[in-house]
Structure 1
Amino acid sequence: MKLFQRLKDSQCRRWLRRRAIKFSPSLLDIKKGAELVLEEGVVLRNVQMGFRNLKIGAMTYMRGDGELWNVSEIGRFCSIGNGAVIGHDRAGHPLDWVSTHPFSHSGTHLSYSSRFEPAKIGHDVWIGRDAMILEGVEVGTGAVIATRSVVTRDVPPYAIVAGSPAKIIRYRHSEEVIQRLLDSQWWCLPIEKLLALPIEQPTLFLEQVSAIEPEGGGYASVRLTSSCWQVSGSIS
């Protein structure tokens, strides 16, 4: 059985590499009944996975030893460091029962699940090493989460946060530039077009990107479950 699974995982990884996706976990790491959708260019190293349904956008990478729990969306062009935890339980045990231990609802007539919605991560978010983002938190596009921060509340777009609990240190750009970046939806463009733009000069970038028509989809995607893999979408 282990040999069969290794062969199956190897076949899946080769299939994904042909679609510019690098996926290190075993398919069995995706829990039964869950679904993982990956767009082109995603790199997902060995991580623990406990989500129900998760979509990870194009060019996003997550280094090893991380954890993906109660999270439903991670946008495009995100950079996620080693040991990052996204969607960590904030109410994973029953505080008002006799015991918080899972013996009370594992294999019994009782059931218990988190009351919080999944975490959501926007586009172009940088999450530092060993940072933790709790379930129910929304991290806005362009935000930066400092190393070992614990994020307990929503993070506005392009904010830099740090600490435990994480607090806003500053913003990456002025309010005007932030709004223009959000309005541009530059992450919808093919990477070839983005590389031709002055990424290092936000104002000039915005002047030039405004002349390019955003493309809706833009990147192919695949769908993975614990037992199969298939094409989910096509390049528009």
Structure 2
Amino acid sequence: MFKIIESIKAARYKRLVRSHGGKIAAGPSTFSKYASADLEEYVQLGHIKIRSSQVGIGAYTYIRSGTHLSFVSSIGRFCSIGSDCVIGQEKHSHPSSWVSTHPFQYEDGGNLEYRADEALAQIGHDVWIGAGATVLAGVKVGTGAIIATKALVSRDVPPYAIVGGNPAKVIKYRHAEDIIARLMDSEWWDLDTATLRELNMADPEKFLRSIESRTSRDKVNYRVVCLSQKGVKPLKSDRS
């Protein structure tokens, strides 16, 4: 009976998320007890785990199954995150300066308390993270970056850099410096997809000339919904 009730709750949860333009594979079981996520429209979440107390995820971003969001505050729009990644892996998950690193000292009746003091990772817009990659807590991944499969990212990643390895290092950049600067200035991720599809996104130079020739650039206003174990709650504010 319990499983039936939980299944009904999960189905209702998923329907509510779909009504706001998103998809979530696992329902409320995605979240740990105190975790929550603010999702813009068209976000797709596979069977993932979210431990962050509050993480914002931008429109059209998808995250494949097996990925964990731990100490991370934001993931931008149009991000592609592969399976089995860890975003915001804590650096101090165990008390290395204590007598023992084992959690028996502070769990299950232990008289001590241990809290890892971690900075939060931040992922920019249009970031592609390959399967099995790990981004440590406190790392900032710039807009347009690509992180190779199984890379361990321990330092900030510049915009439009391609990084790989353990520890991850810059392999090359996706574009020339002037193109990168113009792409960042364009803030194209703030435009609606109908407008973007009218432009030549296969040719950065032509795309930028089109964007730069526009006299006005109206920013898209996506709906936002807050998800947690407790349920689905629409929000009034938008992220950009």
| TM-score (structure 2 length as normaliser) | 0.93
- Residue pair 2:150, 2:165 contacting (<8 A) in 1 also: yes
SS of the equivalent of 1:3 reads helix
- Structure 1: where are the runs of 5+ without partners? none
- Residue pair 2:81, 2:131 contacting (<8 A) in 1 also: yes
Q: What is the aligned partner in structure 2 of residue 232 from structure 1?
A: 235
- Residue pair 2:14, 2:27 contacting (<8 A) in 1 also: no
Q: What is the aligned partner in structure 2 of residue 199 from structure 1?
A: 201
CA distance in 2, matches of 1:111, 1:7: 37
Matched letter for residue 100 of structure 1: T
Deviation of the 1:63 alpha carbon: 0.8
Matched letter for residue 135 of structure 1: A
- Residue pair 2:10, 2:27 contacting (<8 A) in 1 also: yes
Q: What is the aligned partner in structure 2 of residue 7 from structure 1?
A: 8
Deviation of the 1:91 alpha carbon: 1.1
Deviation of the 1:31 alpha carbon: 2.0
Q: What is the aligned partner in structure 1 of residue 96 from structure 2?
A: 95
SS of the equivalent of 1:37 reads strand
Q: What is the aligned partner in structure 2 of residue 143 from structure 1?
A: 145
Q: Encode CA deviations 1:46-104: one digit per residue, 9 max, x unaligned.
A: 01221111111000001111111111100000001111111112111000001101111
- Residue pair 1:132, 1:150 contacting (<8 A) in 2 also: yes
CA distance in 2, matches of 1:172, 1:140: 12
Query: Runs in 1 of length 4+ with deviation above 6 angstroms?
Result: none
- Residue pair 2:26, 2:48 contacting (<8 A) in 1 also: yes
Rate the CA distance shift 1:203–1:228 in 2: closer, same or farther, 3 A. same
Matched letter for residue 32 of structure 1: K
CA distance in 2, matches of 1:235, 1:166: 33
Deviation of the 1:217 alpha carbon: 5.4
- Residue pair 1:189, 1:218 contacting (<8 A) in 2 also: no
Q: What is the aligned partner in structure 1 of residue 221 from structure 2?
A: 218
- Residue pair 1:186, 1:214 contacting (<8 A) in 2 also: no
- Residue pair 1:70, 1:87 contacting (<8 A) in 2 also: yes
- Residue pair 2:36, 2:50 contacting (<8 A) in 1 also: no
**RMSD of Structure 2 on Structure 1 (CA):** 1.7
CA distance in 2, matches of 1:100, 1:218: 47
- Residue pair 1:217, 1:235 contacting (<8 A) in 2 also: no
Deviation of the 1:17 alpha carbon: 1.4
Deviation of the 1:235 alpha carbon: 7.6
- Residue pair 1:185, 1:214 contacting (<8 A) in 2 also: no
SS of the equivalent of 2:178 reads helix
CA distance in 2, matches of 1:223, 1:217: 19
| Farther off after superposition, 78-87 or 204-213 | 204-213
Rate the CA distance shift 1:102–1:179 in 2: closer, same or farther, 3 A. same
Count of residues in Structure 1 that have an aligned counterpart in Structure 2: 236
| TM-score (structure 1 length as normaliser) | 0.95
- Residue pair 2:192, 2:219 contacting (<8 A) in 1 also: no
Rate the CA distance shift 1:87–1:59 in 2: closer, same or farther, 3 A. same
